[in-house]
Chains A and B, each alone.
Chain A
Amino acid sequence: MLKVKDLKVRYGMIEAIKGISFEVDDSEIVTLIGANGAGKTTTMHTISGLIKAASGSIELDGRDITKLPAHKIVEMGIAQCPERRRVFAQQSVEDNLFLGAYTRKDKDEIRKDLENVYELFPRLKERSTQMAGTLSGGEQQMLAMGRALMAKPKIMLLDEPSMGLSPLLVREIFDIIKNINSQGVTILLVEQNAKMALSIANRAYVIETGRIVMSGTGEELLNSEDIKKAYLGG
């Protein structure tokens, strides 16, 4: 589905991504784990077209999307639930969800997907007219995920969905990610919470200062001594 090849990204003189390659296959959950500043968000932003690659390529189903503008990439089927949620604070929950479906024209289908999102996140339905800025952190995370789903993506990029949430809620969010995946949406997940991410991922890549240093199945990495030391707290 998604194929990243020799991707390099720079911020001015600084090379934040120093040539990474990875793949996400149809209906997989793939996770990128790595410490602060490793380049995870930069990678996600580059796939979504918010930042332009310095070199390398990104392909979706065999089509080169490296140079497409961000709004075209959404149309192609890549939706992102960004780091820190970035919901539109001054618009209602429901308007946020409809903005997620901005590129779509199939009104009836959009309605159906809205119901589906409300089923996945009943709390959003209760708060559909509330301003998004007044939601709790957990609710905002749900909204950001629901909003990304409204694009009816082939692949959904999730950047640190567990950030700042209570352990109980983190579990709930990861269950929902699995649920979304079982509905046929491919997932690329970025996480600091490596344990949780590895436990639901088919495959994983470890990224360190702009380079991929290890990869394998979720289980392999979960049991690797190096990973245990560096990311799973011993």
Chain B
Amino acid sequence: MTFLTYLISGLALGSVYAIIALGYTMVYGIAKMLNFAHGDIIMVGGYAAFFAFNKFGLSPVVSILASILVCTLLGVIIERLAYKPLRQASSLSVLITAIGVSYFLQNGSQLIFGSDTKIFPAMLMEGSLKLFDGRLMISYLTLFTIFTCVVIMTVLTLFINKTKIGKAMRACAEDKGAAQLMGINVDTTISITFAIGSGLAAVAAILLCSTYPSLSPTLGSMPGIKAFTAAVFGGIGSIPGALLGGLLLGIIENLTKAYISTQLSDAIVFTVLIIVLLIKPTGLLGKKENVKV
């Protein structure tokens, strides 16, 4: 029974990683860049929900929507101001810029919100589901987190595969020049990608902060790195890969913490990653990059 408890909470943690990993993987797939500031968007999403709920007294649903809106706009603005001018630049310049944006967001929020840790309010459901005469307890938040992840994955997969914009996004991911020859506006497509990824970061922020209710300017770093790892683990650029990588990472992390060592859990998670990448350099579900001509 305790194993099952760890497994399910690992699944929930993994769901959050998967939602964050989607942002990395979609931006990588379409803009061919690693947006290292993605983790810090999560942090901004956490603060946005905190202020909406605590300071402005908005309802939970409105607070969540406000947080999604703030992150979506922030993602699009960052892309326009920081990354778009570098479209033709080397990937190293873009990477360094992304790290710069990350520091900018962290320091900016330290300046505005202070560096003290704030308690994130319980705006989602409380209580637990009791099964097997109370021997198995699963919090509703855990179930809600997993459910949210399933919904997001389903909707996003349908969006990417069935809608006109989704197909245009996939066309850009494969060949931007050819996509332009179809009349697709690549800049708009990249903006949409950042908007979706950043909006999802806000959702992840609320799930994460509800589970671990403390807010600080560096709150996004660790989940950001873990989710990035998950994206690489599953195969960067692949949406099912982000799901698989995220879930596996969450489960491995939780089981290691429970049965091996809390201190070593991160080390073990990254060891697994390295082993997987040694065996399959493109990640679990990654495809080989198309040869560009």
Known: A84-B293, A89-B290, A90-B174. A103 touches B167 (CB 8 A): no
Quick one: which of B178, B183, B293 contacts A151, CB cutoff 8 A? B183
How many angstroms from the CA of A91 to the CA of B171 in the assembled complex? 8
- Tell me if A69 counts as interface (CB < 8 A to partner B): yes
Contact check, B184 vs A102: say whether CB atoms are below 8 A apart. Answer: yes
Nearest Cβ on chain B to A75's Cβ, whole angstroms: 6
**Residues of chain B lying within 8 A (CB to CB) of residue A88:** 170-171, 174-175, 178
Contact check, A102 vs B168: say whether CB atoms are below 8 A apart. Answer: yes
Quick one: which of A80, A84, A89, A90 contacts B181, CB cutoff 8 A? A80
Nearest Cβ on chain B to A164's Cβ, whole angstroms: 13
How many angstroms from the CA of A137 to the CA of B184 in the assembled complex? 25
Nearest Cβ on chain A to B239's Cβ, whole angstroms: 12
Contact check, A50 vs B177: say whether CB atoms are below 8 A apart. Answer: yes
**Residues of chain A lying within 8 A (CB to CB) of residue B179:** 99
**Residues of chain A lying within 8 A (CB to CB) of residue B55:** none
Contact check, B290 vs A48: say whether CB atoms are below 8 A apart. Answer: no
How many angstroms from the CA of A103 to the CA of B185 in the assembled complex? 10
Q: Please, which residue of chain B has its CB at the minimum distance from the CB of A80?
A: B181
Contact check, B171 vs A99: say whether CB atoms are below 8 A apart. Answer: yes
Contact check, A147 vs B182: say whether CB atoms are below 8 A apart. Answer: yes
B-facing residues in A28-46 (Cβ within 8 Å)? 45
Contact check, A103 vs B175: say whether CB atoms are below 8 A apart. Answer: no
Contact check, A74 vs B183: say whether CB atoms are below 8 A apart. Answer: yes
B-facing residues in A82-102 (Cβ within 8 Å)? 82, 84, 86-91, 95, 98-100, 102
How many angstroms from the CA of A88 to the CA of B174 in the assembled complex? 7
Contact check, B181 vs A82: say whether CB atoms are below 8 A apart. Answer: yes
Contact check, A70 vs B180: say whether CB atoms are below 8 A apart. Answer: yes
- Tell me if A123 counts as interface (CB < 8 A to partner B): no
- Tell me if A204 counts as interface (CB < 8 A to partner B): no
Nearest Cβ on chain A to B136's Cβ, whole angstroms: 42
Quick one: which of A48, A84, A86, A91 contacts B170, CB cutoff 8 A? A91
Contact check, A98 vs B178: say whether CB atoms are below 8 A apart. Answer: no
Nearest Cβ on chain B to A140's Cβ, whole angstroms: 12
Contact check, B185 vs A71: say whether CB atoms are below 8 A apart. Answer: yes
Nearest Cβ on chain B to A13's Cβ, whole angstroms: 16
Contact check, A48 vs B181: say whether CB atoms are below 8 A apart. Answer: yes
- Tell me if B164 counts as interface (CB < 8 A to partner A): yes
Nearest Cβ on chain A to B122's Cβ, whole angstroms: 43
How many angstroms from the CA of A90 to the CA of B239 in the assembled complex? 14
Quick one: which of A79, A86, A98 contacts B167, CB cutoff 8 A? A98
How many angstroms from the CA of A79 to the CA of B181 in the assembled complex? 7
Nearest Cβ on chain B to A12's Cβ, whole angstroms: 11
Nearest Cβ on chain A to B164's Cβ, whole angstroms: 7
- Tell me if A49 counts as interface (CB < 8 A to partner B): yes
How many angstroms from the CA of A99 to the CA of B178 in the assembled complex? 10
**Residues of chain A lying within 8 A (CB to CB) of residue B168:** 99, 102
Can you name 18 extra interface pairs (CB under 8 A) apart from A70-B183, A84-B293? A71-B180, A71-B186, A74-B181, A80-B181, A82-B177, A86-B175, A86-B177, A86-B178, A87-B178, A88-B171, A88-B178, A90-B170, A91-B167, A95-B167, A98-B167, A99-B184, A102-B164, A151-B182
Question: A-B pairs with the 10 shortest C-beta distances?
Answer: A74-B183, A103-B183, A70-B180, A86-B178, A71-B183, A102-B182, A71-B185, A102-B183, A99-B182, A80-B181
Some 16 contacts from A to B, beta carbons below 8 A apart, are A49-B180, A50-B181, A70-B181, A71-B180, A71-B184, A74-B181, A86-B177, A86-B178, A86-B181, A87-B178, A88-B175, A91-B167, A91-B174, A99-B168, A99-B171, A102-B164
